[in-house]
Amino acid sequence: MARPYNFSAGPATMPESVLRQAAAEMLDWHGCGMGVMEMSHRGAAFGEILEQAQADLRALLAIPPHFHVLFSQGGALAHNAIVPLNLAGRHPERAMDFVVTGGWSQKSAREAQRYGDVHIAASSADEGFVCIPPPQQWRLRERPAYVHLCSNETIHGVEFHTLPDLAALGCDAPLVIDFSSHVLSRPIDWDRVGLAFGGAQKNIGPAGLTLVIVREDLLGHALPICPTVFDYRTLAEQHSMANTPPTWAIYVAGLVFRWAA
C-alpha cells in the first residue's frame, strides 16, 4: 500500500526505515527478550538506549559540553510554563522579555505572565505576524531573567534564519528559543543560546517527548512552586530520569538521530 503524503505539522511523517526497525525490534530489543516498552527505565538496556540517543543528538547539533541534554515530557506548550518556572527566579522581580512574532510566541508570553513580569520587547502583531521586527528596534530591558522567541512560527510562517546577538543589543540575558518545528534542520549558534526546547513530534519522533538543551549556569534557579520533576537541575542530575521518562519515544528518537547522521 502506498503511504500518503503527510504535511501535518505534527505528529509528522517518520523515516520508513526507522519505522521498520522499530517494528522488527518491537518484541525483542537486541536479544534481551523484551521490547523497549516493556523494559525497566532503570535497567542497563534502556540506559544504553538513553545514552546513545543523547550522544547522537549532541553530535548532530554540535552541542557544547557545558550544555545539558534533557529528555522531558509535557510538550512545548507545557514548557511555556516550565521555562519561567526554572528561569524567572534569575531576576529579583521575575522580569522576562518576549519577542512575539506569531501564535506560538504569543502563547508563550501569555503563559509566562502567570509566573512573573512579562515585557513584550517586540511584536509584529499589528502587521499580522508576517515579519520579524528588526532586532535593532527591539525594546529589550538591560538584564531580564531571559529573552524568549520562537525561532520558527508554523502558524504564521515566520522563521528566524539568524538568531539575535543579545549582547550586541545591550542585553545581558540568556536567549531562550522554542525550536520545535525546525530542530535538526539547521545548525544552532550555541554562543547565542542559553536554552532551547521543543516537542519531538514535528521532526524527530512520537508525541510525548520534549527536548530541552540548557546551559549549565542556568540550572538551580527554579521557583519554589516548580514541581520537582520539572526542575531542570533535578532532571540534569538524574539524567532525565527524575520520573519514568517516555522510553518508547526516546528510543524512536534515537533511531531517527542515527538515521539523520
Residue numbers annotated as active site? 104, 178, 202
Query: What cell was used for 234?
Result: 533535578
Partners of 120 in the β-ladder: 98
- Pick left, alpha or beta for residue 208 (phi over 0 → left; psi -120 to 50 → alpha; otherwise beta): left
- Pick left, alpha or beta for residue 26 (phi over 0 → left; psi -120 to 50 → alpha; otherwise beta): alpha
Distance CA 75, CA 249 (A): 12
User: Regarding beta strands 195-199 and 175-178, do their DSSP bridges make them parallel or antiparallel, or are they unpaired?
Assistant: parallel
- Pick left, alpha or beta for residue 134 (phi over 0 → left; psi -120 to 50 → alpha; otherwise beta): beta
Count Cβ atoms below 10 Å from residue 91 Cβ, excluding itself.
18
